[in-house]
Amino acid sequence: MPELPEIEAYRQLAEHALDRRVAAVHIGDPRFVRGDVTPQRLSAVLRGGSFQAVRRIGKLLVFDVRERDHRLGVRFGMTGRLLVDGVQGVEQLMYASNRADTAWDRFTLRFGDGGRMVVRDPRLLGGVSLDPDEGALGPDALTITLAQLRHQLAGSAAPLKARLMDQSRIAGVGNLIADETLWRAGLVPGRPAGSLSDAEVRRLHTHLRRTLGVLLRRGGSHLGDIVPQRRPGGRCPRDGTELRRSTIGGRTTWWCPRHQR
DNA sequence: ATTGTGGCCTGCCCGC
DNA sequence: TGCGGGCAGGCCACAA
């Protein structure tokens, strides 16, 4: 599903959409427009303009609209894809159909040169917004410092995994990356976030960055070592122990009862 | 303020 | 063969 590695791939693809005049905006489903803005207003802000820059904060893409003091925000939910001129940012998405069906094109920009940028999202869990609240997101998981991570965990009674997935604390970590990171760091997902020793916070910081590096290199959040074992009967790739399943932070969680403590 | 829960949304898969 | 129920989780509103 789209977590930080996928959105980073989308960001790189989206650079091909910069400096091109938006000739037309097509909203495939009005529910895909989030926040206070109407589809009409969003279209009016974008039409005739162009994007000066695009950046990623966690799982959010932000496009700067040139000379209009507005920003386009794009979220991808768990089944959203980005296409620019027919090229997909990511080929495979776990839990999402890999069919190409234009009925799922929820938001399309047609450029003056005939090209297109499309957000294709079967489930409609993503969305586009005008001037997204970037300040509501915590430090990006890829560049978070040890001190920042320590600060975000300190004093919290919430389960460690829930804290990791809280986008206002740390931006970019979703369910699969949380399981993979905690498995690599040898930490139990249900522990209170504030209960980690300083050495454990350091270990988590190391493995968070290392895990993201590995997944970016492999090309997807679903390419972690534990992901194929996230099923009944699945075993820990490290020590062969049968993995346990529970629900933490409202999400299915798999972990090794032997080496995660 | 913090933490937890339910709902949205729809493709897919399994069992009957 | 068709059908219904369950499942997947990012995000948000709302409750305690």
- Residues A158-210: pLDDT tens digits? 999 999 999 999 999 999 999 999 999 999 999 999 999 999 999 999 999 99
A219 CA from C11 C1′ (Å): 24
So what's the pLDDT on residue A179? 97
Domain architecture of chain A: domains with CATH? 4-135 (3.20.190.10), 138-255 (1.10.8.50)
The confidence score (pLDDT) of residue A93 equals 80
Give the nucleotide with minimal C1' distance to the Cα of A155. B2
Query: A168 CA to B6 C1', in Å?
Result: 20
Instruction: Report the pLDDT value the prediction gives residue A134, as an integer from 0 to 100.
Output: 96
Nearest nt (C1') from A122 Cα: B10
Q: Say if residues A43 and A75 touch (Cβ distance below 8 Å).
A: no
User: Residues A79-89: what's their mean pLDDT?
Assistant: 93
Residue type, A135: G
The yes-or-no verdict on residue A218 having pLDDT over 90 is yes
Q: What are phi and psi of A196, to 5 degrees?
A: -75, 140
Q: pLDDT (tens digit, 9 = 90+) per residue, A230-242? A: 999 999 999 999 9
Show which residues of A are catalytic: 2-3, 59, 251
